[in-house]
């Protein structure tokens, strides 16, 4: 695939938003227009539309909610906190995501690289002078490389989907909440109270979130920022 951008290593300095099917070439046309509906003609983030895609999303969340326990998150943070899987540039990592489909997303069945570029471009359209934010949009989902064999080829439920705190009661507002009833932590009195293992006002830094691409990038970013 040929990519026409000013800075291929970052991909955020030009209006890249259109994939030309004829020769698989990304074409610059000056910006990304945010659509009103998703690829399936529904409003965004609607988890209640009846469709095959939605059934897949619900099955995804069932497996996710059953398996994301405090112990699992601790094991993953220890293992992936070593940051010893692979070294690569940002653009190389973007390209690695090109074959990945996020099964938790009710709005999108495009390759992830398009999602990254569209996010960066949509942010640039709204905040043209905040270049740090364009870059953040571009890299925000790079943690999905956890799906790749070089990073352990974790299952979808351990990589994508919305995140939530573990170690305390699962909040009712979490999508498809009913499936937490099958999570061992749901029945563990150390974890199933309002504050669980935490204390009020302990600070977000001390709260463990379910494991996935967001938490992985949270571990990766600090060395990137040095």
Nearer residue to Fe ion within complex by CB, 14 or 139: 139
Nearer residue to Fe ion within complex by CB, 121 or 141: 141
Q: Residue count at the site for Fe ion (CB under 5 A)?
A: 1
- Which pair of tokens denotes residue 46? 């609607």
* Distance (Å) of CA 181 to CA 66, 67, 176, 185, 186: 8, 11, 11, 9, 6
Residue 197 CB, shortest distance to Fe ion, in Å, is 26
What is the spatial distance between Cα 111 and Cα 102, in angstroms, rounded to a whole number? 8
Q: Does 103 bind Fe ion (CB under 5 A)?
A: no
Q: Does 121 bind Fe ion (CB under 5 A)?
A: no
* Distance (Å) of CA 80 to CA 137, 140, 183, 210: 23, 17, 23, 14
Task: Report angle CA 111, 113, 174 to the nearest 5 degrees.
Answer: 70
Q: Does 102 bind Fe ion (CB under 5 A)?
A: no
Pattern of binders to Fe ion over 128-147, x per CB under 5 A? -------------x------
> Site residues (CB under 5 A) for Fe ion?
141
> Which residues carry a binding-site annotation for Fe cation?
115, 140-141, 213
């Amino acid at each position: 695939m040929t990519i026409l951008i000013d800075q291929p290593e970052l991909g955020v300095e030009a209006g890249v938003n259109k994939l030309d099917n004829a020769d698989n070439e990304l074409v610059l046309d000056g910006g990304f227009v945010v659509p009103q509906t998703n690829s399936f003609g529904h409003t965004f983030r609607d988890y209640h539309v009846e469709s095959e895609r939605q059934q897949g999303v619900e099955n995804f969340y069932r497996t996710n909610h059953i398996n994301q326990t405090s112990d699992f998150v601790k094991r993953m943070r220890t293992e992936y906190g070593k940051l010893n899987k692979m070294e690569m540039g940002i653009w190389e990592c973007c390209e690695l995501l090109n074959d990945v489909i996020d099964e938790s997303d009710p709005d999108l069945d495009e390759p992830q690289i398009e999602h990254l570029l569209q996010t960066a471009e949509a942010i640039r359209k709204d905040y043209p002078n905040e270049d740090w934010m364009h870059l953040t949009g571009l890299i925000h989902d790079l943690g999905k490389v956890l799906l790749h064999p070089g990073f352990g080829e974790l299952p979808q439920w351990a990589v994508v989907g919305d995140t939530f705190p573990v170690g305390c009661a699962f909040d009712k507002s979490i999508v498809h909440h009913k499936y937490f009833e099958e999570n061992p932590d749901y029945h563990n009195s150390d974890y199933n109270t309002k504050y669980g293992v935490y204390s009020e006002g302990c600070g977000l830094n001390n709260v463990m979130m379910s494991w996935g691409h967001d938490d992985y990038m949270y571990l990766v970013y600090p060395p990137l920022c040095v």
